[in-house]
Structure 1
Amino acid sequence: MKNILSHVNSGFIVCLCFLIVFSCSSGNTKNETKSTGMGQKKDGKHIVCFVYHRFGDSRFPSTNISLSDFEAHLKYLKENDYQVLNFSDAIDYLKSEESNKKTAVLTIDDGYESFYNNGLPLLKKYGFSATLYVNTESIGGSDYMSWDQIRKAHKSGIEIGNHTHSHQYFLNLDTEERYVQFEEEIVNSQKLFKSNLGIEPVTFAYPFGEYDGKMKEIVRASGFKSAAAQNSGVIYSGTDLMACPRFPMSESYSDINSFSSKAKMKPMIVINEEPSSLVITRNRSKPLLNLEIQADSLDTGSFQCFIQGSECNLDIREDSSGSQVNVTLQSKSSILDRRRTLYTITGKDTEGNWHWYSHLWVNPEVK
């Protein structure tokens, strides 16, 4: 389990959809509560999503994956009969009445040229699609793909997603400026994609995985069917589709054992989360996270929590019905010295499968 835990990610409106329950969040960025609905759909469909950045570029180990590791990932998915979909098609599959299949999504952020030169040929070799999230301001810059390379990747079956124009730290901006600029950048990028590729992306990824409730509403109102965050976890029918989790892959935790453990991961069904806001301030140096988790066949005695850079206090309270469990996670020390910190909880079910959920905290004061 240490290998699995070597890395680990607003609103008041709950949208109850017939047979499938999705949560939609909006509004405030503090003291928010997110209800993810009534739990998992009976078909049990879920999606494991991975995020990559650079391929075979050892200058940047924190965002790079070796080509041997990446090919090992693709080989594992092929040999174990996963359907590998782009992000948009995976969301369509999740919403559909299609039968349950092992499903994986490969996403690539930022549009580095190493993807075109090194990653894309391997995807073609194994016949897999992926979703490439591009920040349009960087296109053609040093180390970044050109419009022509993006066009060729798209024609070869790669979905192109919106990653804003500037890829900046939007949470560092004053709120009024933040939302105006965030929306303007989305609109501008969509226009650039349309004029250069002839398409407008239908999925979105938040720069650095950072957002607040209003930003999520802007993404939803812009017409995107889903948005990718950067907290770890598994997408299922109760996931907020404007903040889908992804497992990051880079040199420090991309060996095949780590990858395969994530590929086999099941969702931790969170019915309610408080707060759902990502943003922390100085008066919340050791933020408390409260979760209501659908118990079903989970073995609460196996629950573990992990916090980056700190030890974790875990409190578990089962209700009398046994249908859900209330869990509290809190860091034992201040997390204010880090910009982004993940609280993660994992646990096994009675069949031995591991389940995973994480919450991302962001301290915008750390530049």
Structure 2
Amino acid sequence: MGSYPQGTQYHPALSPQQGPHGLTDRTVPMKTFWLKLVFTLLLLVSVLSTSCWAGANVFLYHRFGEPKYPSTNIGTDVFAAQLAYLQENNYRVLSLRDIVSRLRRGEALPEKCAALSVDDSFTSFLTGAMPLLRKYQYPVTLFVNGDAVGASGYLSWSQLRQLVLEGVEIGNHSMSHDHLVDLRPGETRAAWGQRVRNDIEAAQELFERHLKMTPALFAYPYGEYSQELIEIVDDLGFEAAFAQQSGVIHETHQLMNLPRFPMGGPYATAKGFIDKLQMEPLVVIEESPLDPVVRDPQLPPRLRIRIAADGADLRRLNCFVQGDNSCTVTAVDGSDDTFEVVAEKPLTGRRNKYTLTAPGLTDQGWRWYSHLWIQSDAALER
């Protein structure tokens, strides 16, 4: 895999984690000796398993073989090549529900784990993607927005029922596919919250009526969420929610804003897929602010993060920001694991991201993390 641009380097190398020492007491009975030895080995495995976090690389698609919509389309030949790569390189393709269930149980994710998800239920999913998914027998999660079902270019309820029978997992993508973080003119916070709740619940009722099932997973329209929206989705009983900021899911991830790698437009290539598939999680265990809504669009937002010691070389931590902009990473009070990230200039566009990467200390892999930012006057009204 090609190398990434190098950012400013900061700290001395992190001290290696100390492992447990072997038992050498020769006075204990043989049985006790072996019991202690087995315990020590199990403890060592536990320590080693947490020194480099296993992750799930989840990919997001919209349209298949629809080149007149370039920003959300992927060619079916490219999609076929991606699925072939997964099979030829022995990746375990899990359903999102399986991944979420493992996370909720505190169970480790398997090595070389990937998942496929599709938003918006365009008809090209059925005509362009499903024949290939059937061929490789890979699970997929389809996030459906209720108002679009049966409209021109979208799947019908009859088609969705058939897909459910084939094992396609259905997720809730809201009823309206609106910018759910935004208040409407004159709308109070309380009215906004009730409207959003009604919107999501209306879609759930449609799924129950037409598909005889209740989705356990939610995907935010446009990948946009806020802390208040997360609380609503969580309160409605969803097991997890997915956004569109890029990154690798890990065992300690917050379940209500899980990342996915978008596969549309310039990102929808075989090489781009392989690069993202080989990424490992940059395990951010604390971040502030959690809410991605930018409070003062005239100033670049500041992000403070704490990163777990997962084998990443944090001396070579890099930051990228979209648009004609750059960002800097600064250690907080000389810390080895806590950093402040800020762009040089105010952000552009409604949605932007700070993306952080770091190489491994002892391997050739790269770690990846993205933090979403949303700039919207309507969202700021909250």
Could you state the TM-score of these two structures normalised by the residue count of structure 2?
A: 0.81
> Does the alignment pair 1:79 with 2:91?
no
| Aligned residue type for 1:162 | N
Alignment of 1:146-185 (within 5 A): 146-173=156-183, 174=187, 175-185=189-199
Structure 1 residue 330: Cα displacement = 1.4
Alignment of 1:52-131 (within 5 A): 52-94=61-103, 95=105, 97=107, 100-131=110-141
For residue 10 of structure 2, what is the aligned residue in structure 1?
A: none
Count of residue pairs brought into register by the alignment: 330
Structure 1 residue 199: Cα displacement = 0.3
Deviations 1:124-169 (A, max 9, x none): 1111010000000110001111011111111111100000100101
**C-alpha distance in structure 1 between counterparts of 2:332 and 2:193, whole Å:** 40
**C-alpha distance in structure 1 between counterparts of 2:258 and 2:109, whole Å:** 21
For residue 135 of structure 1, what is the aligned residue in structure 2?
A: 145
For residue 48 of structure 1, what is the aligned residue in structure 2?
A: 57
> Does the alignment pair 1:272 with 2:272?
no
Q: Alpha carbons of 1:97 and 1:269: their partners in 2 closer, same or farther (altered >3 Å)?
A: closer
Q: Alpha carbons of 1:181 and 1:326: their partners in 2 closer, same or farther (altered >3 Å)?
A: same
**1:90 counterpart SS class:** helix
Residue in structure 2 matching 1:346, options 352, 357, 360: 357
Q: Which moved more, 1:240-249 or 1:272-281?
A: 272-281
| Aligned residue type for 2:369 | Y
**C-alpha distance in structure 2 between counterparts of 1:280 and 1:214, whole Å:** 14
Kindly indicate whether the alpha-carbon contact (under 8 Å) linking 1:338 and 1:366 is maintained by their aligned counterparts in 2.
Answer: no
Unaligned runs of 5+ in 2: 6-48
**C-alpha distance in structure 2 between counterparts of 1:339 and 1:109, whole Å:** 20
Kindly indicate whether the alpha-carbon contact (under 8 Å) linking 2:297 and 2:346 is maintained by their aligned counterparts in 1.
Answer: no
**C-alpha distance in structure 1 between counterparts of 2:344 and 2:159, whole Å:** 47
**C-alpha distance in structure 2 between counterparts of 1:201 and 1:121, whole Å:** 24
Q: Alpha carbons of 1:136 and 1:105: their partners in 2 closer, same or farther (altered >3 Å)?
A: same
Q: Alpha carbons of 1:4 and 1:60: their partners in 2 closer, same or farther (altered >3 Å)?
A: farther
**C-alpha distance in structure 1 between counterparts of 2:194 and 2:340, whole Å:** 36
| Aligned residue type for 1:236 | H
Kindly indicate whether the alpha-carbon contact (under 8 Å) linking 2:139 and 2:168 is maintained by their aligned counterparts in 1.
Answer: yes
Structure 1 residue 48: Cα displacement = 0.6
Alignment of 1:210-359 (within 5 A): 210-282=224-296, 284-317=298-331, 324-335=336-347, 337-350=348-361, 351-359=363-371
**1:164 counterpart SS class:** coil
Alignment of 1:188-203 (within 5 A): 188-203=202-217
Kindly indicate whether the alpha-carbon contact (under 8 Å) linking 2:245 and 2:260 is maintained by their aligned counterparts in 1.
Answer: yes
Could you state the TM-score of these two structures normalised by the residue count of structure 1?
A: 0.84
**C-alpha distance in structure 1 between counterparts of 2:253 and 2:176, whole Å:** 28
| Aligned residue type for 1:102 | K
Q: Alpha carbons of 1:333 and 1:236: their partners in 2 closer, same or farther (altered >3 Å)?
A: same
Deviations 1:219-255 (A, max 9, x none): 1121111100111101111111011000000131222
Structure 1 residue 310: Cα displacement = 3.3
**C-alpha distance in structure 1 between counterparts of 2:111 and 2:297, whole Å:** 45
Q: Alpha carbons of 1:142 and 1:283: their partners in 2 closer, same or farther (altered >3 Å)?
A: closer
Alignment of 1:24-43 (within 5 A): 41=50
**C-alpha distance in structure 2 between counterparts of 1:2 and 1:366, whole Å:** 41
| Aligned residue type for 1:264 | Q
Q: Alpha carbons of 1:319 and 1:257: their partners in 2 closer, same or farther (altered >3 Å)?
A: farther
Identical-pair percentage? 37
**2:164 counterpart SS class:** helix
**1:352 counterpart SS class:** coil
CA-based RMSD of the aligned residues comes to 2.2
**1:170 counterpart SS class:** coil
Which structure has the greater CA radius of gyration?
2
| Aligned residue type for 1:77 | L
For residue 13 of structure 1, what is the aligned residue in structure 2?
A: none
**C-alpha distance in structure 2 between counterparts of 1:316 and 1:295, whole Å:** 17
Q: Which moved more, 1:171-180 or 1:221-230?
A: 171-180
